[in-house]
Structure 1
Amino acid sequence: MKKITEFFRVLKDFATVAPLLASYKPPKDDDTVSMGLLFQTTAEKYADKSALVFEGRELNWGQFNRLVNQFAHLLKKQGVARGDVVAVLLENRIEMLASVLALAKIGATASLVNNSLRGKPLVHCISITDSRKCLVGEELVEAIMEVKEQLPLSDQDYLWVEDTGESTKPEKLFNFSEQVDAMPTTNLAETADIKAGEKALYIFTSGTTGLPKAAVIYHRRFLASAYPYCKAGLRAKQQDRIYMCLPLYHMTGLGPGFGTSLSSGASMFLRRRFSASQFWPEVQQYQTNLFVYVGELCRYLSIHPECPEEKNNPLETMMGNGLRPDVWDQFRSRFKVKRISEIYGSSEGNAAFINFLNKDRTIGTTSASLMLVKYDVDADEMIRDAAGKLIEAEPGEPGLLLSEIDDKYKFDGYQNKEATNSKILTDLKNPGDRWFNTGDLVRQIDVGFALGLPHFQFVDRVGDTFRWRAENVSTNEVGEIINAYDGIEMTNVYGVEVPGAEGKAGMAAITLKEGASLDMDAFSQFVDRELPAHARPVFIRLQQQVETTVTFKLVKGALRKEAYHLDQVKEPLFILKPKSQAYEPLDDASYQQVIAGQSGF
């Protein structure tokens, strides 16, 4: 009986979604469509309907459009023109979205800077995109003031956007908020002329750490992903409301939630940051029936004590990535969520997966041309046959995911051409073919009846990148930054599993120069200053001698297996505990907490 029920459910899902996806034609570069025009069209269609709720403030679509227009007119008055890049450094709030949309309306590019960055990484992000201005929120202005002298912008190029009003604007910065209310609320003529092939955004990949790479997001790319997110994933309608608490400077936060809202007119409930204790009370209070997640948030909710508000909650559909299979089952059974639409992709990648048939524990399917090739994790390399050809993985076997680059599935890459080229493999099946290397292990799985559509499951990051705290961490770049510390000969960075924690924690095996010693207090201050929180190694191992292959590649396999286990590692080990800024020796008591999943990670 269950099989028959599942048969008809899948058939119904397919019949609902397939025609919409089949009939949709992604925009071409020369089409006059854009993020700004989509927003404007939706705002006019649903002018009196709720668009956005944030910290007790609610705007309908008409009010939101008028505010965006005021932002756009003032940006133009300040000299921002079509094709310019403006850095946006604000927390999740109404003004952040207004900034992005205003820049889209005038044909400028919003460079969305991770608002947790400080120091050198912050300078890098603003500089690498040649940002002409920087929209900076009151809540983050201190970070700018610390590095302002290292940036090529003048005082008046920093456009200060008021937040709570609890702090005053630095004296010489331009007071954007003071003048925006006097601006016209009318639509701008140029919005209807922006082409799909123009740059809408720079999204900084978390796959790099100290020096992030700027992924180029064209208007066509944003629109082409927003439609399936809306129609196939969340299946949103105008009367729905989306719970949005992910950082909007990441594509997972901005794309599925914001893109769905612009495509459907669904209202957004926006939060600065996630709170496990407030989640279900707010879901009930604001009747949010759609939710955009990352797996880490779902894990927090699944281990959080029960609360009355989680019972009979209105949440029906959720979309996101990184939901572990064990958490998936807990979440569905405990919170009674009917539809979990896991997705897979990246800001810069050319293929996206979506679980539109609501199958358990899968990233779904894709229409892109793929290869899953066998991968030697310990050697950190693809496996080839005697003739040098890559060997494809069997169904059920993890393989490195490669996605073919063609006219439909373009790889737009990064602002840096060298970084772009490093992700492309050529001549794998046919002369001249090109493939995007995702750097991820994926396997094809059997999900039962699925109308012949192959389904896949994410397995792990490989090699030089791992995922921690819903962020990707580049081992090479963390290592390079730590190597700059005085007295360090070589740093080998890798990810290790921590019981009860999502992803892998960073660990660094450090070899000191002859005669050198490591002052842990000073080293801790260095790490805190030079690396964002998610990239700071959780564990440090002081290694007597660095191990390399015959080609001088750092050996990580044995280090990963030994990890931080006291019974396997005889060299000094240190731990950076949650909410701590200093490394301390890893003793037995701390170790027992870690392996019991009670250390707070």
Structure 2
Amino acid sequence: MPHGDVITLPKLLTKVPEVVGNLPGLIKGARMGKLTDTRRPVGLGVAFERAASEHSAGIALIQDERAFTYATLNGWANRIADYLASIGLKKGDTVAVNLENRPELLATVIGCAKLGVCAALLNTAQRGKVLVHSFNLVAPKAAIIGGEQLTAVQAVRDRLDLREHFLYFADQDTLADPGEAPETYVNLAEAIKRRSSANPASSQRTFLRDPLFYIYTSGTTGLPKAVVFNHGRWEKAYGGFGFSSVRLDAHDRLYCTLPFYHATGLVVCWASVIAGRGGLVLARRFSASRFWGDVRRHDCTAFGYVGELCRYLHEQPEKPDDADNPVRTIVGNGLRPSIWKAFKKRFDIDRVAEFYTASESNVAFTNVFNFDNTVGFSPVGYAIVQYDKEADQPVRDARGFMRRVRKGEAGLMLGEITDKTPFDGYTDPEKTEKAIFRNVFKKGDAWFNTGDMMRDIGYRHAQFVDRLGDTFRWKGENVSTTEVEQILDGFEQIVESVVYGVEIPGTNGRAGMAELRLDRPHGEADWAALSACLARELPPYAVPVFLRVTDGGVETTGTFKHQKNTLKEEKYDLERVTDPVYVLLPGEHRYQPLTPEIQQAIDGGEYRF
């Protein structure tokens, strides 16, 4: 992580002209971020109706050749809301929604929001027991299933607690042709045809703390948790991103390939579009080869990202027209410092609206000042506190209170829990309480534990350092996987890396291991140069002991988070791993291929690591 990116007053002053030009938006977004009025109607339904009234003929949504004005999409959502009300659903109920990125999903989510019904946005990659868990966890009163998800749902239908109101959208343009619904499902496209297109009265009855969505954690460890995302949080994101950070207008279109069961696409990108009265260009899924063609075809001036999406784009062969695209602004999180500036230059990107938050978090940062290599600025109460990784807990003084880090230092990020920044928690109260630290700086205060290590770089700006769950201990030291990955990614022959810890029999802690994707066959890689690079750039305890080389892409979740559990389980076991594995043996200065004989000697304790 670059340490030279500490924000100084002279640096801040260079951004003044840009900030002054957007001062009204910054002020509006800041005010919305501190919303506490529990009697004022807020949220997605309210905001979309306002946009449809003010910009009815404007294009709200495009997918491939399908385009929808604000008026059309609003009327469609109203018919869905009217039908759901007709089968007895009401404010406070939950509907399980299992649709891929397509217009039917957006119309459904708006319709649920208008009715005050909470949409549980199921991860479309879930299958089997995980899908059953996620579905039953929120006790839905109805389910809306896309034809593309029917096989997955039918495989577990007998294990779902819901017995009626299974609604169906065929996997096609259902406004043009409703299609046929399978037996025991109601064809929702057909059922809503004669329902009212008028705005329902219920859409003005959604308030600050009323649930809007359930968004599920990725489930990379254990079963997913359902995070409550209420209308107030949506309103704050609408202000913070839409007006303060991203700053689109009616002439802008934002291209989004991120799954809408995740908050970056569903909340950040979409709310930014609605705030500007712009257009959302929605893709079913990400494709690096089609990405820029879609951007140019639909004249998109912005796009949403997560860090690995940018990496995949950056890995594509360079073309003379890379910079010849209409994009000015990108919004997302996780853009790695190792490619940040190069990515901006190659694709001629003016602004990176990087942000930091999580589906359940009550603290957020946005890069409103357009600095490089930062998650940005936060107007809400937060603290970065000293953390003892060996004890796996924050440092407390003699009085039992935590201590803030100094500028330039890293520590654990906490979000202050107040009326303005509540922590809405999970469906499980016990898990909610475990995420809270109490008596942090004074008796009676409460702070949300983000679980993330951040660096204070001054003037309420921060840099992401690591997730506590992604650190491991080796040779009595704590190893940050993120920082090791950044060094590996900086080696010219490495395309992508994932770092994790693995157990070696007879040793304490976990040895470092990295899965690598190279730009050449592993037999042609310069292992001596890589060994020298790592010895030069990393302390000895942080240099990976094992390297696993894969020809395919590194396995990720739908939101591009690396799946490390399987890697940790398979570790360097050649009976389970078909990829080539290299090892840096004690006393050696160069990686060599791991053989069954060397593995047996390692596991038998013949080498002293």
Q: TM (normalized to structure 2)?
A: 0.77
Say whether 1:219 aligns with 2:209.
no
Query: Which amino acid in 1 is paired with 2:16?
Result: L
1:427-464, CA deviations, whole angstroms, 9 ceiling, x for partnerless residues?
A: 12111011111100100226xxxxxx3321001100x3
Distance in 1, Cα, partners of 2:334 & 2:21: 26
Say whether 1:22 aligns with 2:31.
no
Query: Which amino acid in 2 is paired with 1:152?
Result: D
1:97-151, CA deviations, whole angstroms, 9 ceiling, x for partnerless residues?
A: 1111000111111111111111111111111111111111000111111111111
Say whether 1:561 aligns with 2:475.
no
Report the counterpart of residue 430 of structure 1 in structure 2: 442
Distance in 1, Cα, partners of 2:425 & 2:398: 32
Distance in 1, Cα, partners of 2:87 & 2:320: 50
Q: 1:380 to 1:5 in 2, by over 3 A?
A: closer
Q: 1:6 to 1:281 in 2, by over 3 A?
A: farther
Report the counterpart of residue 540 of structure 1 in structure 2: none
Say whether 1:257 aligns with 2:269.
yes
Distance in 2, Cα, partners of 1:441 & 1:208: 19
Report the counterpart of residue 395 of structure 1 in structure 2: 407
Report the counterpart of residue 138 of structure 1 in structure 2: 147
Unaligned runs of 5+ residues in structure 2 are 1-7, 473-479, 490-494, 517-526, 532-542, 556-565, 585-589, 592-609
Q: 1:260 to 1:74 in 2, by over 3 A?
A: same
Report the counterpart of residue 376 of structure 1 in structure 2: 388
Report the counterpart of residue 120 of structure 2 in structure 1: 111
Report the counterpart of residue 159 of structure 1 in structure 2: 167
Say whether 1:330 aligns with 2:335.
no
Matches within 5 A, 1:158-307: 158-164=166-172, 169-206=181-218, 209-307=221-319
Residue 209 of structure 1, CA deviation: 4.0
Report the counterpart of residue 591 of structure 1 in structure 2: 581
Distance in 1, Cα, partners of 2:123 & 2:552: 23
Aligned match of 2:110 in 101, 118, 143? Answer: 101
* Secondary structure, counterpart of 2:233 in structure 1: helix
1:71-103, CA deviations, whole angstroms, 9 ceiling, x for partnerless residues?
A: 112222232222110011100110101111000
Q: 1:7 to 1:250 in 2, by over 3 A?
A: closer
Report the counterpart of residue 491 of structure 1 in structure 2: none
* Secondary structure, counterpart of 1:326 in structure 2: coil
Say whether 1:317 aligns with 2:307.
no
Residue 30 of structure 1, CA deviation: 1.9
Unaligned runs of 5+ residues in structure 1 are 447-452, 467-474, 476-493, 510-542, 548-554, 597-601
1:282-340, CA deviations, whole angstroms, 9 ceiling, x for partnerless residues?
A: 11111100111111101111111123552321100111111111111111111110111
Distance in 2, Cα, partners of 1:119 & 1:36: 33
Residue 370 of structure 1, CA deviation: 2.4
Aligned match of 1:78 in 87, 105, 118? Answer: 87
Residue 164 of structure 1, CA deviation: 2.9
Report the counterpart of residue 465 of structure 2 in structure 1: 459
- Which deviates more, 355-364 or 392-401? 392-401
Distance in 2, Cα, partners of 1:247 & 1:366: 26
- Which deviates more, 572-581 or 279-288? 572-581
Q: Is the 8 A contact 1:29 1:196 kept in 2?
A: yes
Say whether 1:34 aligns with 2:75.
no
Residue identity over aligned pairs, in percent, reads: 33
Residue 224 of structure 1, CA deviation: 1.0
Residue 53 of structure 1, CA deviation: 0.5
1:255-294, CA deviations, whole angstroms, 9 ceiling, x for partnerless residues?
A: 1111112222111100011111111111111110011111
Q: 1:8 to 1:436 in 2, by over 3 A?
A: closer
Q: 1:101 to 1:587 in 2, by over 3 A?
A: closer
Q: Is the 8 A contact 2:90 2:116 kept in 1?
A: yes
Aligned match of 2:18 in 9, 13, 16? Answer: 13
Query: Which amino acid in 2 is paired with 1:351?
Result: V
1:481-520, CA deviations, whole angstroms, 9 ceiling, x for partnerless residues?
A: xxxxxxxxxxxxx9786644778456665xxxxxxxxxxx
Query: Which amino acid in 1 is paired with 2:157?
Result: K
- Which deviates more, 377-386 or 390-399? 377-386
Q: TM (normalized to structure 1)?
A: 0.78
Distance in 1, Cα, partners of 2:551 & 2:426: 33
Report the counterpart of residue 137 of structure 2 in structure 1: 128
* Secondary structure, counterpart of 1:561 in structure 2: strand
* Secondary structure, counterpart of 2:380 in structure 1: coil
* Secondary structure, counterpart of 2:39 in structure 1: coil
Say whether 1:359 aligns with 2:310.
no
Q: 1:208 to 1:412 in 2, by over 3 A?
A: farther
Say whether 1:57 aligns with 2:66.
yes
Query: Which amino acid in 2 is paired with 1:395?
Result: K
Q: 1:576 to 1:316 in 2, by over 3 A?
A: closer
Distance in 2, Cα, partners of 1:332 & 1:574: 29
* Secondary structure, counterpart of 2:123 in structure 1: coil
Q: 1:67 to 1:209 in 2, by over 3 A?
A: farther
Q: Is the 8 A contact 1:363 1:456 kept in 2?
A: yes
Distance in 2, Cα, partners of 1:432 & 1:107: 33
Matches within 5 A, 1:408-557: 408-445=420-457, 453-462=459-468, 464=469, 499-500=488-489, 504=498, 509=503, 544=505
Q: 1:571 to 1:505 in 2, by over 3 A?
A: closer
Q: 1:129 to 1:502 in 2, by over 3 A?
A: farther
Q: Is the 8 A contact 1:29 1:198 kept in 2?
A: no
- Which deviates more, 31-40 or 239-248? 31-40
* Secondary structure, counterpart of 1:310 in structure 2: coil
Q: Is the 8 A contact 2:301 2:329 kept in 1?
A: yes
Query: Which amino acid in 1 is paired with 2:166?
Result: Y
